Amino acid sequence: MTKTFSQTGWSKQVAEEKPRASDGQSISKAIAVLRAIADHQGSSLGEIAKATGLARSTVQRMVGALNKEGLVTKNSGHQGVFLGMELARLGAKVNLNARTLLMPLMEELHAQIGDNIDLTALDDGRVIVIEQIASNEDIRVISFVGREHPIHCTANGKAHLAQMPRDEALALLRAKGMPAMTSHSITDPERLLAQVEAFAEFGLFIDREEYGVDACAMSTTLPEIGGRKLAISIAMPTARFKRREEDLKAALLSFRRAVQDRFGPSI
């Protein structure tokens, strides 16, 4: 496609720039090189090639281009390639606010499900609601920003336990205690962690009336944002939960994939 511009009685055609397939491939290769360098600062071109699966000549070309932009550097007196200061400058401008970043996706999830959604963070062993969208239903499970969820008997709590080393999770449970909130609450730390480990294989964690009578919830873990361990859950009355359980599983796994696709494994 071309555009025609008229100027003082004459015209010329200017071809519009079109993205080429090779552009995307080059960007992907450059990102792979950056990640390899980030994982092993001071790597040689050969080591980067081995880590990325790219040809050494391709790595050399990518490193040269990235070096010109200040994204990588070859420090004087040191072997290998290092990340450049331009990356630090750009990174400092990123606002790693999980609430702001995830709210658009949470709103899409809420439009699909319509029930209570909690975004929680694990702060010093405490499960804290940092963002929340209330249910549209007349009969609902109620939550609010700033609320602390017990780590041992909530879907979010179980998800956060899965994000911790087992010995650390066990120590936390013993230190905080595991009071029975309902007759369904698990009060033995070993039994709870066995359940958490089984749930972790599927990426979903469930509270079946363990925190409150006639209330159930399902949660999944999310990539870290700004170093914060995050989880998201949907909570609703038991009867509705049983009826929609398969919908919730699909919706939460889809939500997690969307977050991973947009932000990567962590940011």
**202-235 pLDDT tens trace:** 999 999 999 999 999 999 999 998 888 999 999 9
3-state helix, strand, coil in the chain (%, to 5): 45, 25, 30
Amino acid of residue 63: V
Q: Name residue, tokens 């995830």.
A: 102
Task: Read off the tokens for 120.
Answer: 């929680």
Residue 2: per-residue pLDDT: 43
Q: Name residue, tokens 């509270």.
A: 207
Please say if the pLDDT value at position 81 is more than 70.
yes
pLDDT category of residue 89 using cuts at 50, 70 and 90: confident
Please say if the pLDDT value at position 106 is more than 80.
yes
> Can you point out the beta strands (E) in the chain?
2-7, 10-15, 72-73, 82-83, 116-123, 126-133, 148-149, 205-208, 215-225, 228-237
pLDDT category of residue 16 using cuts at 50, 70 and 90: very low
DSSP 211-241: SSTTEEEEEEEEEEETTEEEEEEEEEEHHHH
Q: Which domains are assigned to the chain?
A: 2-92 (1.10.10.10), 98-263 (3.30.450.40)
* Distance from C-alpha of 12 to C-alpha of 180, rounded to nearest angstrom: 79
* Distance from C-alpha of 163 to C-alpha of 197, rounded to nearest angstrom: 10
Q: Name residue, tokens 């909570």.
A: 235
Residue among 74, 9, 23, 85 at smallest CA distance from 48: 74
**29-75 pLDDT tens trace:** 999 999 898 888 888 999 999 999 999 999 999 999 999 998 988 76
**114-134 pLDDT tens trace:** 999 999 999 989 999 999 999
* Distance from C-alpha of 198 to C-alpha of 161, rounded to nearest angstrom: 12
Angle at 114 between CA 110 and CA 120, to 5 degrees: 50
Q: What is the mean pLDDT of residues 181-188?
A: 97
